[in-house]
Amino acid sequence: MSKDYYKTLGVEKNASKDELKKAFHKLAHAHHPDKNKGDDTKFKEVNEAYQVLSDDKKRSSYDQFGNADGPQGFGGGGYGGQGGFGGFDFRNGQNGMEFDMGDLGDIFGDFFNGGRGKAKAHKGRDLQTDVHLSFEESIFGVEKKINLNKQSVCNVCSGTGAKVGTKMDTCKTCNGQGQVREIRRSILGNFESVKTCDTCFGSGRIPTQKCSECRGSGVTKRNEEISVKIPSGVNNGESLRVRGKGEAMQGAEAGDLYIKLDVKSHSVYTREDANLIMDLKIKLSDALLGMTYNLKTLDGKDIDVKIPEGINHKDMLRVKGQGVPTSYGRGDIIIRINVETPKKLSRRAKEIIEELKKEGI
């Protein structure tokens, strides 16, 4: 469903980065789940909204497509960083440097939770690949098959790491809790926090006999084909995020797949926002007397376009509703007229033009 991130943060659409930051900090503090009156759902919504609007590229894409499920893949409950509040990674540039707030997020969690921190969520490695599209595919959308060689969930043990038919024992390292405590040092002093158990990877159980296929890791490296729906109206150089299609990791969610789009140029059309632009060369006589031009649209339609008499060089004609599909309808085709002036004239042509000149044309 459509999400209004500006409404979530309580700011206007033209809010500055400072206003976004202030609104986020206020709401994050109010809804932090470790507080007595915290709200985990609202906290995640605030996190998701801030992650999109605080990033110039993501915010621009969100403003363009007008919903949280657009080509940039903002839907699905936020962005999977490995630090900061609720598993998000907030970074603020200062004098050209980045300050990772991940540790502060853990510290604040310790304060609100009486010293009982929560372990950071593990996540598989993100992957990136390039996908080549024709101009038509970028305009109308397409489904692409992508082959990846990556760490995937073991087909034999389904990711448990155990031999099929054998039992799982309680992990002795964490006593089945999936987490272990550790002392963390920070600028505010020492704090006790928790981390995911490295022995059982957070599951709290370990196999009595390991899977022979993955040797207990729960993952194997293999070729995998995935289908990706490329939405209509994407641009060259944009990236799409496909959640959970990165590398798998035992006891954790899979990473994400980032797809960079390479759109081939078209022999006739170029794109400007929701409109398709084309140049049409016509003869001087056609500019004076008018003509009918047979236009071939991107989706294969034949449309007769009336070129009016007396049209000027660089004039533009609009064919409505034949441009780029958007959430509010289709854009237009804009035809830019280029009147070709002949470099050489026959004697007869010169005589005619002289007659026209006498008439003031």
Under a CB-based contact definition with an 8 Å cutoff, are residues 288 and 295 in contact? Answer: no
Under a CB-based contact definition with an 8 Å cutoff, are residues 253 and 247 in contact? Answer: no
Measured in whole angstroms, how far is the alpha carbon of residue 241 from the centre of its chain? 5
Distance CA(330)–CA(327), nearest Å, equals 8
Task: Give the N- to C-terminal CA distance of the chain in Å, as an integer.
Answer: 61
Under a CB-based contact definition with an 8 Å cutoff, are residues 48 and 9 in contact? Answer: no
Residue among 342, 318, 338 nearest 330 (CA): 318
pLDDT digit string, tens, across residues 284-333: 999 999 999 999 999 999 999 999 999 999 999 999 999 999 888 899 99
Helix (H) or strand (E) holding 45: helix 40-53
Q: What is the pLDDT of residue 353?
A: 85
Q: What is the pLDDT of residue 225?
A: 93
What rounded mean pLDDT belongs to the chain? 81
Please identify every stretch of the chain with a pLDDT value under 50, giving residue numbers as ranges. Answer: 1, 68-117
**Who contacts 112 (Cβ-Cβ below 8 Å, separation ≥6)?**
32, 34, 35, 38
Q: What is the pLDDT of residue 186?
A: 63
User: Two tokens at 238?
Assistant: 């944009």
Q: What is the pLDDT of residue 133?
A: 97
Q: What is the pLDDT of residue 187?
A: 61
Residue that is written with structure tokens 């040092």 in the block: 185
Under a CB-based contact definition with an 8 Å cutoff, are residues 205 and 168 in contact? Answer: yes
Strands, DSSP E only, in the chain?
A: 91-94, 97-100, 127-133, 142-153, 168-170, 179-186, 189-196, 205-207, 219-230, 239-242, 257-263, 270-272, 275-283, 291-296, 302-307, 316-319, 325-326, 329-330, 333-340
Distance CA(292)–CA(282), nearest Å, equals 11
Q: What is the pLDDT of residue 277?
A: 97
Distance CA(52)–CA(242), nearest Å, equals 16
Residue among 270, 269, 271, 315 nearest 295 (CA): 269
**Who contacts 167 (Cβ-Cβ below 8 Å, separation ≥6)?**
208
- Domains for the chain: give ranges and CATH numbers: 1-115 (1.10.287.110), 270-358 (2.60.260.20)
Measured in whole angstroms, how far is the alpha carbon of residue 286 from the centre of its chain? 46
Distance CA(322)–CA(300), nearest Å, equals 11
